[in-house]
Amino acid sequence: MSTRRVSDYVQMIDAPYHGRTSVLGTYVVSGEKVAVIDPGAASQTPAVIEALDRLGVEEVSTIVLTHIHLDHAAGCWMMLERYPGAEVHCHPRGVEHMVNP
Q: Helix-strand-coil percent breakdown of the chain, rounded to 5?
A: 30, 25, 45
pLDDT of residue 23: 86
**Is the distance from CB of 76 to CB of 49 less than 8 angstroms?**
no
What is the structure's pLDDT at 22? 87
Question: Cα(3)–Cα(12) distance, rounded to whole angstroms?
Answer: 5
Residue pair 41/34 in contact by the 8 Å Cβ criterion: no
**What does each of the 101 residues of the chain score in pLDDT, given as a tens digit?**
899 999 999 999 998 888 888 888 999 999 999 999 999 999 999 999 999 999 999 999 999 999 887 777 889 999 999 999 999 999 888 888 788 87
Calculate the CA 19 to chain-centre distance: 18
| Helix (H) or strand (E) run with residue 88 in it | strand 87-89
Domains with residue ranges and CATH for the chain:
2-99 (3.60.15.10)
Q: For residue 24, what pLDDT is reported?
A: 86
- pLDDT score at 30: 96
Residue 88 has what pLDDT? 95
